[in-house]
Structures are given as C-alpha cells and as structure tokens.
Amino acid sequence: MRFRISTAILLWWCIARHLCLSASESSINTSEDTLNFWRVANTRLLPVYAPLAEHIVTEYNLAEKKGIGIDLGSGPGNLIIELCKKTQRMQWINADINPNFFPLFLKEAEEAGVGHRVSAVHADAQVLPFENDYAEIIVSRGSFQFWDDKKLAFSEIYRVLKPGGIAFIGRGFSENLPVEIARKIRNQGKGPKYDVAKTANELQEIMQVLEINDYRILIPKPPGSEGVNYGIWLEFRKPVTKKHRLNNLKKEASKNSYREKNVYLYASDNTVVRDTRSHDVIAEPMLV
Ligand SMILES: C[S@@+](CC[C@H](N)C(=O)[O-])C[C@H]1O[C@@H](n2cnc3c(N)ncnc32)[C@H](O)[C@@H]1O
C-alpha cells in the first residue's frame, strides 16, 4: 500500500513537472527541444537580444575592449551575435551544456560576418572547462534557473573571471527594452512564472556564502512597465588583488624592457641614427 502511494506521488510529480515546463523554460536536451527553443529565440524573443547587448556593452565599456567574453547557456547564440556586432575586438564563446545548438549558431555567426570571433564549447556551468582568470566578462540570460547547484556554478564563474572581470547573469529583459515590446512578448507566450523577490533572496544568499561582496541585484522597472516582468539580473566583479596588480606590473615592465632593448632607428645605410632606449617607445625596430 505504502509502495503504491509513493509510486502515485512520483507519477503525479513527473506529470506536473512535465506540464509546468514550456518550450522556453524547460531544460532543453533533445534535438527537438533545441529546434523549438531556436524558433522561440528567433521569433518571440528576437527583439530582446540587441537591447540586452547594447546594455552590456555600454554598462561595461566593452566597445573597444580586447579579450574573451563567455555567454554561459547561450543556446542559439543570438546574444553573442549582437555582442559581436557591438564589440569590434572581443572573442565570444558560446558555452552550453547542449551542443545541439552549435552547428546552427556557428552558421548564423558566419552569415552575420562574425564567424571568426566566435567559438562554441560544450560546458556545464557547474564544471566550467576554462582555466582560472580567463575571461573579461561572463554573461548569461535565461539559463541559471536550470543549474542544479547554483552555488557551485557561481563559484566556477568567479574562478574563470579575470581579476577585474565582471559577471552579468540573469533572466528576462534589460531595462532599455521598450515597454510595449516587453508587454507583447509576455502576453504572447506562456511566459515564465517565478517569484522575482524569492530569486533575489536566493542569489543574495549565494553571494554571501561565496563571500562575494562586490555584487548588485538588478530588477529592471522602466517607467510604464507596471505589471510586466522584466526579470532579474545579478552583477558581480572579481576584485584585482595586490598579488594580481604586482604580477601585471611585472608583466608590463618586462614587456617594456624587451621593447626598449630593441628600439633603434636606422638610416638607409644601416647606421643607427637614434637610440631610443632612454625614451618612450615611439616606433617599432627598423622603422625610420
Ligand atoms: C532558455 S535557454 C536560454 C538560451 C539563451 N541564453 C537565450 O537567452 O536565448 C537555456 C539555455 O541554458 C542551457 N543550460 C541549461 N543548463 C545548463 C548548464 N548546467 N550549463 C550550461 N548551460 C546550461 C540550455 O542548454 C539552454 O541553451
């Protein structure tokens, strides 16, 4: 009897869970799910990505920056393609647990003319396949709610960030998404139902446990957006420690001494006309 009741409860839980999850919210595992979410991302959610990329690039001064950016759980990669268009010198990695998205993503990046600045890596947020201090920025939209062990995932993100690097992780929309578009998106789909305040508490607790002090939780509420859920975002930074600062200074110093040793200006008869070792580097070797 007891066995029957527990089986019934388990069965009920499985059915309820299945019914609760829509294409945009379920964990996307099969190639059919992949195609379904790809469609959602390229129709209903499509207007979300360009403003979100604009927000990220402006807020974190990425337009002229060089380095690696990771979009964790990027799926179809729409956000990365928009980020590429707005950052001329950064390389972006689509790190997702579902590699079924990658062929379409890489094809679209190629078609958008940014194929040479993107890559795709099969990655679980909880065990990131990147070395320490690797990325300038890690962004993620609509994925963290699927991470089983969020504490572990956030500690991995922290580990992979460069000192001075930034994480911007959340779900929903950026504040600059026009309210009428946000309202339309929310009215069109079943839309994710979750408690923003509860999520804020959960994220705050994780930051406290991980002893990450430099963080902000952002709940966008642009004027006129009453009744429209814009979602929730967590921003945190990895501080630059004294050790990292000293290492960077050392690196800089060795670069300069190498350059200084090599900077001479030559005339066409090969005689040295100016030795710039005691000056700022003003030209590359052999350039007159
Ligand atoms: C709802 S989709 C969001 C996709 C994309 N960020 C967007 O906004 O269009 C969730 C994504 O998170 C990925 N994902 C789920 N769990 C993950 C994990 N543990 N590690 C990495 N990615 C994960 C899924 O494969 C999927 O691509």
* Least confidently predicted of 38-47, 204-213, 265-274: 265-274
- What's the pLDDT at 28? 65
* Atom number, ligand 1, closest to the C-alpha of residue 24: 1
* Residue 191 confidence (pLDDT): 66
Q: Could you tell me what percent of the chain has a pLDDT over 90?
A: 69
Q: Which residues contact 284 (CB under 8 A, 6 or more apart)?
A: 263
Look up residue 190 and give its DSSP letter. -
- Strand ranges in 97-141 using DSSP code E only, listed in sequence order: 118-122, 135-141
The 10 Å Cβ neighbour count of residue 47 is 16
Which of 6-10, 51-55, 86-90, 151-155 has the weakest average pLDDT? Answer: 6-10
Q: Using the atom order of ligand 1, give the atom closest to the CA of residue 147.
A: 19
| Domain boundaries, given as residue ranges, for the chain | 31-240, 246-288
pLDDT at 193: 83
Ligand 1 atom with least separation from CA of 125: 20
Whether 165 and 132 have beta carbons less than 8 Å apart is answered as: no
Q: Is the pLDDT of residue 13 over 70?
A: no
> What pLDDT was estimated at residue 205?
98
Q: Is the pLDDT of residue 217 over 60?
A: yes
- Give yes or no for residue 250 having a pLDDT over 80: no
**Which of the following CATH numbers is that of domain 31-240: 3.40.50.150, 3.40.50.300, 3.90.870.10, 3.90.1150.10?**
3.40.50.150
Could you give the C-alpha distances from 225 to 141, 179, 242, 244, in angstroms and in order? 20, 6, 43, 43
Query: What does the alpha-carbon distance between residue 84 and residue 118 come to, in Å, rounded to a whole number?
Result: 8
Mean pLDDT along residues 194-207: 97
Q: Please give the residue that has the higher pLDDT: either 16 or 259.
A: 259
Of the candidate ranges 60-74, 170-184, 232-246, the one whose mean pLDDT is the lowest: 232-246
Give the other-Cβ count within 10 Å of 175's Cβ.
17
| Distance from the alpha carbon of residue 241 to the mean position of ligand 1, in angstroms | 32
Mean of per-residue pLDDT scores for the chain: 83
| Whole-number pLDDT of residue 279 | 36
pLDDT (average), residues 67-94? 98
- pLDDT exceeds cutoff 60 at 263: no
pLDDT of residue 30: 74
Q: Which amino acid is at 203?
A: L
Q: Is the CB of 99 under 6 A from ligand 1?
A: no
**Which range has the top average pLDDT, 7-16, 25-34, 194-203, 236-245?**
194-203
Q: Is 169 in the pocket of ligand 1 (CB under 6 A)?
A: no
- Note the pLDDT of residue 196: 96
C-alpha dist (Å) from residue 164 to 13, 76, 134, 189, 240: 44, 28, 11, 38, 5
Note the pLDDT of residue 267: 45
Q: Residue 257: its pLDDT value, please?
A: 52
Count Cβ atoms below 10 Å from residue 58 Cβ, excluding itself.
12
Ligand 1 pocket, mutate which of 143, 147, 155 (most atoms under 8 A from CB): 143
pLDDT digits (tens, 9 = 90+) for 116-156: 999 999 999 999 999 999 999 999 999 999 999 999 999 99
